[in-house]
Amino acid sequence: MENLRVWHIPQVPGNPFHVKVKSPEQAIDIMNILADYDLCQLENKIKPDYSSLQGLEIFEDGEWIEWYSDDGDEIQEYAETLQELS
C-alpha cells in the first residue's frame, strides 16, 4: 500500500507533518519513534511541556481519511492487538 501516511502534530495546537508509509506495521514503527522522540525532548527539557497527536491516514476517493483495520480498529488499537499476538 503506497496510499498510507502517518500524520504527527508535535505540539498541539499545531499543524501536522506527514510521513508516507508502506504498511500499517511500518506506521506503528514510525509512530513509536516519533513518540519516543517527543518524550526524549520533554525529559531533557528541550520542550518544557508538550501535547502531541498522531494517526494513520489512507488516500481513498481523492481524499485522505483516517485508516481503520478490517476489524474496524484505529491504528493504536491495531498496534495493541499485534503486540498481544506476538
Query: Tens digit of pLDDT for each residue in 59-80?
Result: 999 999 999 999 999 999 999 9
Confidence band, pLDDT 50/70/90 cuts, at residue 1: low
Query: Tens digit of pLDDT for each residue in 5-53?
Result: 999 998 888 899 999 999 999 999 999 999 999 888 888 888 777 788 8
Q: What is the 3-state secondary structure (H, E, C) of the chain?
A: CCCEEEEEECCCCCCCEEEEECCHHHHHHHHHHHHHHHHHHHHCCCCCCCCCEEEEEEEECCEEEECCCCCCCCHHHHHHHHHHHC
